[in-house]
Amino acid sequence: MKPAKFDYYAPVARDEALGLLGQHGYDAKALAGGQSLMPMMNLRLARPAVVVDINRVAGLSGIDSGESGMTIGAMTRQRDLERSAEVRERFPLIAAAVPHIAHFQIRNRGTVGGSLAHSDPAAEIPALCLALDAEITAASSRGERTIAAGDFSLGLLTTALEPDELLTEVRLPWLDSDGESQWRWGFREVCRRDGDFALVGAIALLRLDGDNVCREARIAMFGVGDGPARIPGAEAALVGRAVDADARAEAAGLVSQAVDPGSDIHASAEYRKEVSGVMARRALEDAVSG
Ligand SMILES: Cc1cc2nc3c(=O)[nH]c(=O)nc-3n(C[C@H](O)[C@H](O)[C@H](O)COP(=O)(O)OP(=O)(O)OC[C@H]3O[C@@H](n4cnc5c(N)ncnc54)[C@H](O)[C@@H]3O)c2cc1C
C-alpha cells in the first residue's frame, strides 16, 4: 500500500517547521515517529498534501527535571521515556505503563508528542498525562500557549491543537509528598495480545496518609470512550476515607457506571463497562499495597 502523493519537507530549525505548518495549515501534517501517520497515509485514511518531517528539528527532545516538575520534549521517543532512570525514579507510574505501548520496535520510533497529537482513545500516554495533570505546550508562528491535559483531547483522534501548531513539550508537575501523606499509584490494562492497544485501561493515583486515608484521588480510564477520562464521582468517593476493600469496590462500581464505551470488533460495550470496574479496582489495590 502506498500513500497518496505529497510534498515532503525536512526543516532543521523550529521556526522553519512552524512557518511550513502556518503556510500549509490543514493541508500539512507533522511527521514524528510515523508509527500512526504512515499507516494512516498508506491506508489513505490521511492524505496530507504536505508532510513536515520534524525529526531533524533541534531542541524538541529530551527529559529535564526542574524545580516544579519534569519537562519532556515532544520528539522524545517512547523507548527513551521507558528507559530513563529519572522517569523511573520520579514517575514510576510512567515507567510501568510505557512498556504496554505496542512493541519495542514501535516505541523506538514513536514519540511522546506523536502519541498525544494522534489522540487514540486507547493510548497510554494521553491517559498518563491526564492523570498526572500535565501541561502541554503548543507553538506556532503566532506564539506559544499551554494547554492543560484535561482540555487537550477533544474526542476521537481530535485535539485542541490548531493545524498550524506544533506540540513542543509536556510538563509534568512533581507529585509532592508533604511528610504526612504520600502519592501511590496503580496501572492496569487488558488487551487481547501483548502489544495490542488496550481494550480497557485504568490509572489510579492516591495521596494517602499513614492510615491509608485518602487525601486526594485521581482515576483516569482509557480505551472506554472517545478519549481518556477522569472519573470525578469515583475519586470523590475515596477522599477522606480509608481506602479499604469496601471503598475500592464502591469506587470501582462508580467507574463502571460512569464510563460509556462503544462496541467494536475487539470488544463489546458491555464487556468494556464491566471490565472498567475490574481494572479500576485492581489499580486501586495496587496503589494501596504498592
Ligand atoms: C502495531 C501498532 C501498535 C500500536 N500500539 C499502541 C499501543 O498499544 N498504545 C499506544 O499508545 N500507541 C500504540 N501505537 C501507536 C504508537 O504509540 C505511535 O507511536 C503514536 O501513536 C504516534 O506517535 P508517532 O511519534 O509515531 O507520531 P506520528 O505517527 O508521526 O504522528 C501521529 C499524528 O500526530 C501528529 N504529530 C506528531 N507529532 C506532532 C507534534 N509534535 N506536534 C503536532 N502534531 C504532531 C502527526 O501529524 C500525526 O497526525 C501502535 C502503533 C502501531 C503501528
Kindly state if the Cβ of 71 falls inside 6 Å of ligand 1.
Answer: no
265: domain range? 181-289
pLDDT at 290: 78
Q: How far is the CA of 146 from the centre of ligand 1 (A)?
A: 21
Low-confidence ranges of the chain (pLDDT < 50): none
Asked if residue 279 lies in contact with residue 202, where contact means CB atoms within 8 angstroms, the answer is yes
pLDDT at 65: 97
On whether both 114 and 236 belong to a single domain, the answer is no
Residues 6+ apart with CB under 8 A from 215: 181, 207, 208, 209, 239
On whether both 220 and 165 belong to a single domain, the answer is no
On whether both 32 and 168 belong to a single domain, the answer is yes
User: What span, in angstroms and rounded, lies between the C-alpha atoms of 273 and 195?
Assistant: 22
pLDDT at 210: 87
Question: The domain that contains 206 carries what CATH number?
Answer: 3.30.390.50
Kindly state if the Cβ of 94 falls inside 6 Å of ligand 1.
Answer: no
Residue 178 exposed, middle or buried by CB count within 10 Å (0-12, 13-18, 19+): exposed
> Could you tell which of 14, 26, 101 is best to mutate to test the pocket of ligand 1, judged by most ligand atoms within 8 Å of the CB?
101
pLDDT at 88: 97
pTM score? 0.97
Ligand 1 atom with the smallest distance to the CA of 31 is 30
Q: Greatest CA separation found in the chain? A: 62
Q: How far is the CA of 73 from the centre of ligand 1 (A)?
A: 15
Calculate helix-pair angle for 269-289, 245-258, nearest 10 degrees.
150
Q: How far is the CA of 38 from the centre of ligand 1 (A)?
A: 9
Residue 183's closest CA among 228, 131, 233?
A: 131
Give the residue, by CA position, lying nearest to ligand 1 atom 19.
110
pLDDT at 183: 96
Boundary residue ending a domain (149, 174, 199): 174
Question: The domain that contains 129 carries what CATH number?
Answer: 3.30.465.10
On whether both 67 and 165 belong to a single domain, the answer is yes
Q: How far is the CA of 259 from the centre of ligand 1 (A)?
A: 25
pLDDT at 110: 98
On whether both 83 and 201 belong to a single domain, the answer is no
On whether both 153 and 218 belong to a single domain, the answer is no
On whether both 17 and 93 belong to a single domain, the answer is yes
On whether both 39 and 107 belong to a single domain, the answer is yes
